Structure 1
Amino acid sequence: MGTLLMTGASRGLGREAAERLLRDHPDQHLLLTVRGANGDRLAAELAGKTGNANVSTVPADLASFASLHEAVREIERRIDAGELPPLTGFLGNAGLQLTSTERATEDGFEVTFGVNVLAYYLLLRLLFDRFQPGSRIVVVGSDVHFGDVRHNLGLVPAPRWATVAELARPRPGGALAGRRAYATSKLGVLYLVHALARRLPDGVDAYTYNPGLVPGTGLLRDAHPVTRAVAGPLLQAVRATPFAMGPVAAGGLLAETALGPRPGASGSYLDRGKVAPSSPESYDEDREEELWAAAAQLCGLPVEVR
């Protein structure tokens, strides 16, 4: 038995994935990060719906480094006390798409980059030595990182990479800049996973998972009401095309990726569960290493894992 730590399980495809994990893997403990005081309620709801009480929560705010440090200390305490099985997996599903680039995390970083990239860097670095042989790390990405109409249907601007310091800095910008920051952060997820995979010991794998377009996940919840009113019906119409799938199907594939058969070599990009090439821009070891080193500095950690 092991523990799978998961973010973003309260709604959408994350909620569906959590339910599938509990139904299909009753011997796996599912530990969910929850922001606020709703952890007990979420765990009770999932246990009641699936009939599997092997689920618990830990408070964590991905927009606060202090909160993440506290969450990791609590996870380690529970493992060391025998309250949780050893850590054997990580599923990073939580992510943000905002309508500006002006908002800051508690630590002063642009929120989209801070949550979608830096928070995962910090969590995985702090837990690095806790992953047991055979562990699997999955971070949800997006095909919007390609930056072309085929992959984003013209709804999201192409990513625009810059130095990590620039990307992590709040800056003036409205809805267009916010959507571009989202695409750029998902390119950053690929760089992070590639750099992580090079450092993980043999037997511990890391993947980027692309769920495709999944209407109904709440990704537009920060958008203007008019934008939501226009985009909602459009996204539901797209749902009937090969470009998209519903939260139930997407959540099932995500759960299979987390705990099913090994999907491929560590570092792979998994497009709806199958190994596929990511964008040509996403294979850039110089950028990957620059991200790793800069993120370490921003998080107050040494560059290399000891």
Structure 2
Amino acid sequence: MQSTIVMTGASRGIGRVAAERILAERPGVHLVVLARASSQSQVAELAAGRGSVTHITADLESLDSIRLAVHEIEARLDGGELPPLIGIVANAGIQYTNVLTETPDGFESTFAVNVLANHLLIRLLEPRLRAPGRIVITVSDTHFGDFKHNLGMVPGPVWQTPARLARVGAHPRPETTAAGRIAYSTSKLAAIHLVHEYARRLPAGVDVLAFNPGFVPGTDLARDADPFSRFAMRRVLPALTLTPLANSPKTAGRHLADVVLGKVEAATGSYIDRDRVARSSDESYNREREAELWVAVDQFTFGGNDRDGDVLKG
């Protein structure tokens, strides 16, 4: 059956591996890749000889850019250029070296890309999803906040009100790399909270899953880090893939593709640790927090984002 999957974070890293595998294993899939214009050459390489791929330009730090991309997808679906939509893969993520980087909409950039962009994309496209449909959001085991899951490299999440997390300077010493990494682990905790809330709200036949690739050195996630950290991630830490402590981009990408393609059986709302259903952190199960976060991100993305408004106070 011909079908469409919309994917972010498909031009490099584990997303690129996953995209190649999806296209190879499901010839009927038309992959719509949302990425910056600067990624056009990588997307073209993905399309060459590997099936149907469409690049739609989107800057995930801009809510208006995401809206325009969705409008284009809707027009192509309505015009018959794209087959029915059955999947959304929110794989893109960012980790800044501070919590002072602000988007054009006035949000802290890590929260904007890792939380708000996914929410807006899912909420806008969800009415177009055909059952059985599947939404997969890439998260991270850094949300556990312990040495077992992050090897001491990323501080654990520090939860605050969504209004505070959405703004720059949410964590102490906001100019530091440590603050940026706290924002990252906290954003991934927020993403898991929202997966639980989506699972309660999405219509029957549309599942949503949180996918944890594990520690994957050798990707560009740390591209904004200091030179030593970038060197370690690209040249030193990949040796850990020879141990159970880390996965290679190839392995993590294969796991992601398997989740997207339904090879991993999981109930909606599940947390998939690499290739199996597992339990996320105890902190990630908090219905009151999940409901509060849903209301806040819905307001940020659909009800105005004035930084001086009531929603962003707290």
Is the contact between residue 11 and residue 39 of structure 2 (CA under 8 Å) also seen in structure 1? no
Q: Does 1:197 align with 2:199?
A: yes
Q: Check 1:126–1:301 CA distance in 2 against 1; reply closer, same or farther (3 A cut).
A: farther
The residue aligned with 1:173 is: 175
Q: Deviations over 1:143-199 (max 9, x none)?
A: 010000000000000100100010010113310000011000000110111111111
Alignment partners' CA distance in 1, 2:101 and 2:43: 31
The residue aligned with 2:310 is: none
- Matched position secondary structure for 1:55: strand
Is the contact between residue 22 and residue 257 of structure 2 (CA under 8 Å) also seen in structure 1? yes
Q: What does 1:136-215 correspond to in 2, within 5 Å?
A: 136-171=134-169, 172-215=174-217
Alignment partners' CA distance in 1, 2:50 and 2:13: 20
The residue aligned with 2:251 is: 249
Q: Check 1:237–1:52 CA distance in 2 against 1; reply closer, same or farther (3 A cut).
A: closer
Q: Which amino acid aligns with 1:36?
A: A
Alignment partners' CA distance in 2, 1:99 and 1:295: 23
Q: Which amino acid aligns with 2:139?
A: G
The residue aligned with 2:27 is: 26
Q: Does 1:94 align with 2:92?
A: yes
- Matched position secondary structure for 1:244: coil
Q: Which amino acid aligns with 1:276?
A: A
Normalised by the length of structure 2, the TM-score is 0.92
The residue aligned with 2:312 is: none
Alignment partners' CA distance in 2, 1:264 and 1:38: 32
Q: Check 1:116–1:139 CA distance in 2 against 1; reply closer, same or farther (3 A cut).
A: same
- Matched position secondary structure for 2:31: strand
Normalised by the length of structure 1, the TM-score is 0.94
Q: Check 1:291–1:60 CA distance in 2 against 1; reply closer, same or farther (3 A cut).
A: same
What is the aligned length?
Answer: 299
How far the C-alpha of 1:229 sits from its partner, in A, is 2.8
The residue aligned with 1:6 is: 7
Is the contact between residue 32 and residue 56 of structure 1 (CA under 8 Å) also seen in structure 2? yes
- Matched position secondary structure for 1:249: helix
RMSD (CA atoms): 1.4
Alignment partners' CA distance in 2, 1:13 and 1:180: 22
Alignment partners' CA distance in 1, 2:72 and 2:189: 31
Alignment partners' CA distance in 2, 1:91 and 1:273: 16
- Matched position secondary structure for 1:154: coil
- Matched position secondary structure for 2:86: strand
Q: Check 1:164–1:71 CA distance in 2 against 1; reply closer, same or farther (3 A cut).
A: same
Q: 1:285 aligns with which of 284, 287, 291?
A: 287
Alignment partners' CA distance in 2, 1:262 and 1:154: 29
Is the contact between residue 101 and residue 108 of structure 2 (CA under 8 Å) also seen in structure 1? yes
Q: Does 1:221 align with 2:219?
A: no
Alignment partners' CA distance in 2, 1:301 and 1:160: 26
Q: Which amino acid aligns with 1:31?
A: V
- Matched position secondary structure for 1:122: helix
Q: Deviations over 1:37-67 (max 9, x none)?
A: 543x33431132xx33311111111100010
- Matched position secondary structure for 2:242: coil
Alignment partners' CA distance in 2, 1:279 and 1:132: 31
Is the contact between residue 219 and residue 234 of structure 2 (CA under 8 Å) also seen in structure 1? no
Alignment partners' CA distance in 1, 2:232 and 2:134: 39
How far the C-alpha of 1:232 sits from its partner, in A, is 4.0
- Matched position secondary structure for 1:239: helix
Q: Check 1:244–1:230 CA distance in 2 against 1; reply closer, same or farther (3 A cut).
A: closer
Q: Which amino acid aligns with 2:252?
A: A
Q: 1:64 aligns with which of 62, 67, 74?
A: 62
How far the C-alpha of 1:15 sits from its partner, in A, is 0.7
Is the contact between residue 30 and residue 52 of structure 2 (CA under 8 Å) also seen in structure 1? yes
Q: Which amino acid aligns with 1:15?
A: R
Alignment partners' CA distance in 2, 1:181 and 1:257: 26
Q: Which amino acid aligns with 1:62?
A: L
Is the contact between residue 86 and residue 132 of structure 1 (CA under 8 Å) also seen in structure 2? yes
The residue aligned with 2:79 is: 81
Q: Check 1:226–1:37 CA distance in 2 against 1; reply closer, same or farther (3 A cut).
A: closer
How far the C-alpha of 1:260 sits from its partner, in A, is 2.9
How far the C-alpha of 1:88 sits from its partner, in A, is 0.3
Q: Which amino acid aligns with 1:269?
A: Y
Q: Which amino acid aligns with 1:94?
A: A
Q: Check 1:285–1:78 CA distance in 2 against 1; reply closer, same or farther (3 A cut).
A: same
Alignment partners' CA distance in 2, 1:245 and 1:55: 27
The residue aligned with 2:268 is: 266
- Matched position secondary structure for 1:66: helix
Is the contact between residue 263 and residue 273 of structure 1 (CA under 8 Å) also seen in structure 2? no
Alignment partners' CA distance in 1, 2:109 and 2:289: 21
